[in-house]
A and B are shown apart, each in its own frame.
Chain A
């Protein structure tokens, strides 16, 4: 394609990065040690603390380039449909062997993308569990029911394949406009455990409905911590009188609703800044979030999450739900190039975060999981892939029963009944089941599950037991 002429820079970048892959494996021994240490820390961890961390991959992660069929027969099927991509040699270092023998659909064996060497170490150490073909469902549906018209009996999630709506469905089990996320509902259940209820649900990546509850509000923090209003702290070229007027103007109540909400927001910003930065200033967290050269916004966000967890004693936090994200997964083109870069960031960030939880002695009390708009088509559209439905996801943490797969592996096919065309996966596990498993671990009792996940009763098996 004539793309080549306008993208020479990126072409060179990928070659440079490819040269670095082998070196990444050097981190393996360190991680191996820490996966073992995590067990010990979890066993002795006496403090009452639990956190869930949602790692959202915005744009729809290409699951087929993340967890790639590796055995000869299925790799050949994959290659026939997708074409190009990794060779089996590329994948040899990141082949996943379950800790106990597992037989997947069509005897599939998977490998991680070569850019996920650290996550492979976590899998091998039993700290990471892939969950296969998870997606939005209201009730279980077969391909025939999907093709049929009986929506009364077999309703489908609204606006499948649409980014904003499916992002919202993953986060809040409804299409765009939903205002309460399942992380927020879990927070509603847990907020009384915390000294500062506002620190129950925290987003380090801007506004996310996932951490918005019925009672609990999401607190938005920056990777640098809470941001003070400088002109109030330090008037610089103005005066103390201006600083005082500033505080009064931005915080005072108003009879106008929008103005009043801005005042509430300002009070929350000022109050929490003192609390949060006060606690963060006393910390000493050694773990690096910079394992690989280059910027990594996800690692920056997980860095502040780790610091907030480190400050849990000072802040009186006992049950927390966090939201972080990485953007740029909508790979309609240049998939191979751009996806590799994001995989490397995901690998660095999740591994660094896990190491930090080990340092803090809370590896077994912090569980991270991935989410994304949707999976993508297995059929390519040139050098990219299109919006899909079900996708593969990861659970990471000391409490995770990792090193094995959960859910059902889809066939490597664009014609089988576990996909709905072009290899768009018909989810075999619902977001609700994925969420229920995490919520139960977090401490939500079975009897409360339907208030958090209203459709959970539609699924025979509520929990997947991956944690």
Chain B
């Protein structure tokens, strides 16, 4: 493969596999080929973990104003990860996983919300190149997930009070984190019964039964240190509980038998064995490959993969070639190097996907180079559509992510063709303008302490043709048409610069050029 990948192909691949396509990445990919490059990413050391970064930046300080309750540093942490940490492909994969297994900083309260989300993000990152089964277990026992979907504190039924186990996690682990609602063929198509209706994977009774498995759990406080402080009448706890898997108290755990998806876990099975049996059952379900695989294709490559493409990814999930099920390295490889992904963009006018707002911004920032003046990465929620990006990492409005995999924007060509376009769920009159307005300031002046460098671009700022060509390749894998490039070059040329023009004028031009590229539909739709 080496030597056969041209710059455009390399940029196109890189902008799916990670956030940005810098020259050194393009050269590395050309030298190693797709498979060799992927091997290198899988083996690459990871950057600083979110948890460690929070400690290193002093967010573990116990202060009188009670910062240990403040959520803000959770945003600082994730933006530091997305913008500044090395190991882009792992980060990109982790971001995709964070939209399949969802927790959100929004409702997380109590002690140390930033550490809750950091430990969640770090865990997803640990397993991004691992195995789905391990990941599913760590998701289930994660301290943040325990808070988000109520496994923490979930108690067995109590006849005296009528209390029943909470069903939240039992429902969502099936509906969203493993098998989905409908029986699927390996190519992702829905199975139907004799009456022609889709076959449902489970019913309410399965949920009620499975809920018993997730009873008796609570945060593991064994490593936690309690610090007495003079400004409140209860101690401040340390952050280790966010890292450690939840622990089960057998007294709170249901001893009832569990029957779900055709499996019976006998009464009085020890909690850990019941958990293992339940997760094994979900993991073995033939839906997982196509259900998970399709959504990862949607996140990284295209909204409407062909059934054959889904089937190939599902097959890689089922068996990595060495008889291992659930190997995520095999899934990413299958998603990114599929013939359908690597073929030149087809003439099909429905090909591709809408780039997510967060990815647009991160891609820009890593491409032009940004640095923090203070190391603080003081990004606040970017969720507002009217003045932000309309999407904020690790701040999904609900467990159903920012958009649904089956979303069809009404009265569009996509709807008429019976195609989905998930990211259009957050594209509207308000977010379209809010995003561009956000860019106007941020790409010129930065966001708080994070400032754009434009180091590689300053030398060509006075040359519209060279500048647009550079941005087109690195941000858009040359998706911008000649006509659009000419339009942008002409507009830039109206404010002529020379190599000797001052730095501020050059930065004005560079920001203007980036703003045009990042707003152009030819860029926004990743093909």
Q: Which A positions have Cβ atoms within 8 angstroms of B?
A: 1-3, 5-10, 58-59, 80-81, 83, 152, 159-165, 176-177, 179-180, 184, 206-207, 209, 212-213, 217-224, 226-231, 236-242, 244-246, 248-250, 254-266, 268-269, 272-273, 327-328, 330, 332-333, 377, 379-384, 386-387, 414, 422
Write the chain A residue with the least CB distance to B489. A245
Check B3 for interface membership: any CB of A closer than 8 A.
no
A345 to B120, CA, bound (A): 31
Knowing A206-B426, A238-B511, A257-B414 are in contact, say whether A266-B432 is a contact too (CB < 8 A).
yes
Q: Taking the nearest CB of chain A, how far is it from the CB of B457, in angstroms?
A: 15
A2 to B222, CA, bound (A): 13
Knowing A5-B234, A220-B430, A265-B427 are in contact, say whether A333-B166 is a contact too (CB < 8 A).
yes
Which residues 181-223 of B have a CB within 8 angstroms of A? 181, 195, 200, 204, 207, 218-219, 221
Knowing A242-B491, A380-B162 are in contact, say whether A260-B430 is a contact too (CB < 8 A).
no
**Contact of B430 with A242 in the complex, beta carbons under 8 Å:** no
Write the chain A residue with the least CB distance to B207. A161
**Contact of A386 with B168 in the complex, beta carbons under 8 Å:** yes
Write the chain A residue with the least CB distance to B504. A237
**Contact of B406 with A263 in the complex, beta carbons under 8 Å:** no
**Contact of A177 with B424 in the complex, beta carbons under 8 Å:** no
Knowing A249-B520, A261-B409 are in contact, say whether A333-B150 is a contact too (CB < 8 A).
yes
- Nearest first, the 6 A-B pairs at minimum CB distance are A241-B494, A245-B491, A6-B110, A222-B386, A257-B413, A259-B521
**Contact of A379 with B153 in the complex, beta carbons under 8 Å:** no
Q: Taking the nearest CB of chain B, how far is it from the CB of A8, in angstroms?
A: 6
Which residues 485-502 of B have a CB within 8 angstroms of A? 487-488, 490-492, 494-495
Give 20 A-B contacts (CB < 8 Å), ordered by A residue: A2-B219, A5-B234, A6-B237, A10-B109, A161-B207, A164-B404, A179-B410, A179-B415, A206-B428, A221-B429, A231-B436, A237-B512, A242-B515, A246-B516, A256-B521, A258-B421, A266-B521, A268-B429, A379-B162, A383-B153
**Contact of B354 with A258 in the complex, beta carbons under 8 Å:** yes
Kindly list chain B residues whose C-beta atoms are within 8 Å of the C-beta of A248.
487
**Contact of A384 with B166 in the complex, beta carbons under 8 Å:** yes
**Contact of B168 with A245 in the complex, beta carbons under 8 Å:** no
**Contact of A1 with B153 in the complex, beta carbons under 8 Å:** yes
**Contact of B414 with A249 in the complex, beta carbons under 8 Å:** no
**Contact of B410 with A180 in the complex, beta carbons under 8 Å:** yes
Kindly list chain A residues whose C-beta atoms are within 8 Å of the C-beta of B85.
none
Write the chain A residue with the least CB distance to B507. A237
Knowing A5-B237, A238-B508, A382-B154 are in contact, say whether A262-B427 is a contact too (CB < 8 A).
yes
Kindly list chain A residues whose C-beta atoms are within 8 Å of the C-beta of B64.
none
Check B60 for interface membership: any CB of A closer than 8 A.
no
Query: Which of B221, B406, B512 makes the CB contact (< 8 A) with A177?
Result: B406
A-B CB contacts (within 8 Å), total count? 263
A221 to B107, CA, bound (A): 25
Kindly list chain A residues whose C-beta atoms are within 8 Å of the C-beta of B219.
2, 6
Knowing A2-B218, A265-B432, A386-B168 are in contact, say whether A381-B521 is a contact too (CB < 8 A).
no
User: Chain B, 401-416, contact with A by CB distance < 8 Å: what is the 0/1 string?
Assistant: 0001010111111110
Kindly list chain B residues whose C-beta atoms are within 8 Å of the C-beta of A250.
432, 436, 519-521
Interface centre among B351, B410, B436 (most CB of A within 10 A): B410
Contacts beyond the supplied A238-B515, A257-B350: 16 A-B pairs with Cβ under 8 Å: A159-B200, A176-B404, A239-B512, A241-B490, A242-B494, A245-B490, A246-B515, A249-B484, A261-B414, A265-B432, A332-B149, A377-B164, A379-B162, A381-B167, A383-B153, A387-B167
A2 to B147, CA, bound (A): 12
Write the chain A residue with the least CB distance to B434. A227
Q: Taking the nearest CB of chain A, how far is it from the CB of B492, in angstroms?
A: 7
A136 to B222, CA, bound (A): 46
Write the chain B residue with the least CB distance to A424. B204
Knowing A220-B429, A250-B520 are in contact, say whether A229-B436 is a contact too (CB < 8 A).
yes
Write the chain A residue with the least CB distance to B445. A237
**Contact of A255 with B436 in the complex, beta carbons under 8 Å:** no
**Contact of B440 with A230 in the complex, beta carbons under 8 Å:** yes
Check B349 for interface membership: any CB of A closer than 8 A.
yes
**Contact of B521 with A254 in the complex, beta carbons under 8 Å:** yes
Check B171 for interface membership: any CB of A closer than 8 A.
yes
Query: Which of B352, B413, B519 makes the CB contact (< 8 A) with A261?
Result: B413
Kindly list chain A residues whose C-beta atoms are within 8 Å of the C-beta of B470.
none
**Contact of B153 with A3 in the complex, beta carbons under 8 Å:** yes
Check B111 for interface membership: any CB of A closer than 8 A.
yes
Kindly list chain B residues whose C-beta atoms are within 8 Å of the C-beta of A212.
410-411
**Contact of A259 with B109 in the complex, beta carbons under 8 Å:** no
**Contact of B166 with A332 in the complex, beta carbons under 8 Å:** yes
A188 to B166, CA, bound (A): 42
Q: For the complex, count residues of B whose C-beta is within 8 A of A.
A: 95
**Contact of A380 with B525 in the complex, beta carbons under 8 Å:** no
Which residues 373-400 of B have a CB within 8 angstroms of A? 385-387, 397-400
A221 to B432, CA, bound (A): 11
Kindly list chain A residues whose C-beta atoms are within 8 Å of the C-beta of B424.
258, 261
**Contact of B350 with A258 in the complex, beta carbons under 8 Å:** yes
**Contact of A163 with B166 in the complex, beta carbons under 8 Å:** no
**Contact of A7 with B412 in the complex, beta carbons under 8 Å:** no
**Contact of A238 with B512 in the complex, beta carbons under 8 Å:** yes
Query: Which of A207, A228, A259, A387 makes the CB contact (< 8 A) with B428?
Result: A207
**Contact of A162 with B163 in the complex, beta carbons under 8 Å:** no
A386 to B370, CA, bound (A): 46
Check B372 for interface membership: any CB of A closer than 8 A.
no
**Contact of A245 with B516 in the complex, beta carbons under 8 Å:** yes
Kindly list chain A residues whose C-beta atoms are within 8 Å of the C-beta of B109.
7, 9-10
**Contact of B168 with A332 in the complex, beta carbons under 8 Å:** yes
Kindly list chain A residues whose C-beta atoms are within 8 Å of the C-beta of B237.
5-6
User: Chain B, 228-245, contact with A by CB distance < 8 Å: what is the 0/1 string?
Assistant: 000010100100000000
Check B72 for interface membership: any CB of A closer than 8 A.
no
Check B425 for interface membership: any CB of A closer than 8 A.
yes
Kindly list chain B residues whose C-beta atoms are within 8 Å of the C-beta of A179.
408, 410, 415
Q: Taking the nearest CB of chain A, how far is it from the CB of B355, in angstroms?
A: 10
Kindly list chain B residues whose C-beta atoms are within 8 Å of the C-beta of A330.
168, 398
**Contact of B413 with A254 in the complex, beta carbons under 8 Å:** no
Write the chain B residue with the least CB distance to A80. B162
Check B463 for interface membership: any CB of A closer than 8 A.
no
Check B357 for interface membership: any CB of A closer than 8 A.
no
Q: Taking the nearest CB of chain A, how far is it from the CB of B387, in angstroms?
A: 8
Query: Which of A184, A269, A387 makes the CB contact (< 8 A) with B433?
Result: A269
Write the chain B residue with the least CB distance to A268. B429
Check B437 for interface membership: any CB of A closer than 8 A.
yes
Q: Taking the nearest CB of chain B, how far is it from the CB of A221, in angstroms?
A: 7
Check B524 for interface membership: any CB of A closer than 8 A.
yes
**Contact of A382 with B153 in the complex, beta carbons under 8 Å:** yes
Kindly list chain A residues whose C-beta atoms are within 8 Å of the C-beta of B409.
261
A6 to B236, CA, bound (A): 9
**Contact of B437 with A231 in the complex, beta carbons under 8 Å:** yes
**Contact of A327 with B397 in the complex, beta carbons under 8 Å:** yes
**Contact of B181 with A159 in the complex, beta carbons under 8 Å:** yes
Knowing A8-B234, A9-B69, A273-B433 are in contact, say whether A241-B110 is a contact too (CB < 8 A).
no
Kindly list chain A residues whose C-beta atoms are within 8 Å of the C-beta of B428.
206-207, 220, 265
**Contact of A257 with B349 in the complex, beta carbons under 8 Å:** yes
Q: Taking the nearest CB of chain A, how far is it from the CB of B495, in angstroms?
A: 5
Which residues 409-457 of B have a CB within 8 angstroms of A? 409-415, 417, 421, 424-434, 436-437, 439-440, 444
